[in-house]
Amino acid sequence: MSFQCFILNLFRHGRKCRASTAYFVLVGKKTNSVLTYAACYHLFSYYHLLPQLTKEDYWQAIDQLVKEGKVIYTDPWIQLTEQGQEELEKTPVLLKGCFGKYDQWLFSLQRRWLFIQQILSEYSYKNQRYLPLTKNYTEKKEVKQILQRWEKPVQEVIENYVVIMETVLDGLNPLEQKIFASQWIGHQFYGFSDEELKAEYQLDDFSLFLLKTQLWIQLATFYEQSKELQSILQLPLPTLSLRLQWIQKAVHYPLSLMEMERYLRKKKGTIFDYIVEVALVDPTFPYQHWITKGEEEKLMSYYQKNTNIGSWNYQVVQEEIGEISFYTYRLFQIKKGFYG
């Protein structure tokens, strides 16, 4: 998938939306407006996927899509055209969501996976201590600590790991298998460089990046289910930050915004950003504590006339249904964006 086609996928839903906010989804900006937008347009698969993406590169791709007639852009709105829809019908949706669950943790899993593969392959191949990935003392110390924590003999760990590798690779196509086994240099698997893979499979840099991202997410899912792999990698399972865990308990208790403000010594706007994050990762979020029956009825009456909740404007909604708190308005958008 080319970068331009990837950007086109952001608008696969076909509804009118803000082009600039889609960019903030890709780079992972954490505000309630960006997160709500991602909920309304089902874009969490793309959240924080390209943190280094520049605005210049993003808008160049948008300009090219406009020139090719695949989207219509009238500042600030963008919408897919029939031609763009036809293009997307040829392109499978490759992404699997990772917002809120793996996020930054995915990088730790990648690093640990590569470390362990190199340690074990070196043991397997040369029966030496280990070959560090870097000369960084902290990272070398971490490797030694992992070796010391293994309760089983190294040879048994290697044998178990080979079985796990075979399980992970089972069902993948040859390209995906080569990507996963890229660092293994022992008896069982042999690595392939990115350049070799791109040449053999006629891939560009971005296509290979997407494939790798999907495989890491797949490995993360497998890691949560595999006690054997957890015992080898010894990486804590992904969890919400301590602050978000506290907020999650507080919204269920429930504490009011004012009470949370007093406990956390944060502004209401910042606390509400946290609440939005919790609402997006907690399927049991107690919306009934935050949206009254009367507010729900008023917002539902507006929703029945304007189902594209991503394009709502707070001031316009208030003019139509009367005064309503911004926090209630946002949480209703999230609720409808996720559950309809």
For residues 170-175, give the mean pLDDT. 81
DSSP 322: -
Distance, C-alpha 165 to centroid of its chain: 24
- The confidence score (pLDDT) of residue 103 equals 64
For residue 303, what pLDDT band results from cuts at 50, 70 and 90? Answer: very high
Mean of all residue pLDDT scores within the chain: 83
* pLDDT surpassing 70 at residue 71: yes
> Greater confidence, 57 or 237?
57
Side-chain-side CA neighbours of 57 within 13 Å: the count stands at: 11
Q: How far is CA 229 from CA 48, 94, 152, in A?
A: 26, 25, 13
For residue 257, what pLDDT band results from cuts at 50, 70 and 90? Answer: confident
- What sections of 150-286 are H helices per DSSP? 154-169, 174-180, 194-201, 205-225, 227-233, 242-252, 257-264, 268-281
* pLDDT surpassing 80 at residue 7: yes
For residue 285, what pLDDT band results from cuts at 50, 70 and 90? Answer: very high
> Greater confidence, 119 or 25?
25
Q: In the sheet that 17-18 helps form, which strands lie side by side, from edge to edge?
A: 17-18, 77-80, 71-74
Per-residue pLDDT tens digits for 96-105 = 555 656 667 8
For residue 294, what pLDDT band results from cuts at 50, 70 and 90? Answer: very high
- The confidence score (pLDDT) of residue 117 equals 74
* Cβ neighbours around 150 below 10 Å, total: 13
